Amino acid sequence: MKPEMITLKHGDTTIKMPAASLAKLAVASVFAQVLPPAADVQSAYPHSAPELGAVWPGQGGFNGGLVAAHGDVPEHYLIIASKDVGDHEWGGRGIEVKGLSKTDGHTNTQVLIVNEDERKYPAADACAEYQADGHHDFYLPACAELYHCWVNVPDLFAKDTWYWSSTQRSANTAFLMYFDDGGQYYNVKYDELRVRPVRRLFI
């Protein structure tokens, strides 16, 4: 049985189509005019992310806030481990390690733990060895990432001690963070300072 056809003419244009198809188009047109436009669909994470400083279930620690894309690193949340991993030397005194960044602690940590100078970098090693909720991608934050933590969630850190960053200043010194006043300074690499791992949650 052939479908009932309808012919539409407008000026020099003629369209011939099944009546059922024309009915569907008419209904769709009506709904498009009376219903509000659909909202832009966003990633699930911005809407389901816990409050700043709150535990992020299944992610290995606390929500440290959203970090804007920078260079080759896309936008992501910084997850802060639920605890410090002790006091450690930065390591490599007298060696100026090449390829370290002020912003990318993940790359810094990878450079340090696979270094070719056969020296140990205890602070970076302690972070790389840390695991939580099945995640094994923690690292020693760069100085910019520690500052991000001070801006967003300073109360997650001790106020009576210094925290190492993975950012080097010279062959003998590296940058650190003091969470009591937000000061960033540098210190000799052989001192044992506090260490807190972080990881990234990409959105």
pLDDT, tens digit, 9 for 90 and up, residues 117-138: 667 999 999 999 999 999 999 9
CA 79 to the chain's CA centroid: 7
For the stretch 30-80, pLDDT in tens is: 444 544 444 333 344 555 899 999 999 999 999 999 999 999 999 999 999
Percent of the chain as helix, strand, coil, to the nearest 5: 25, 30, 45
108 touches 145 (CB < 8 A): no
φ, ψ at 103 (rounded to 5°): -120, -25
Nearest Cα to Cα of residue 104 among 55, 69, 130: 69
Helix (H, G, I), strand (E, B) or coil at 153: coil
Angstrom distance (rounded) from CA 67 to CA 200? 9
* pTM over cut 0.75: yes
166-178 mean pLDDT? 98
Write out the two tokens for 4.
């009932």
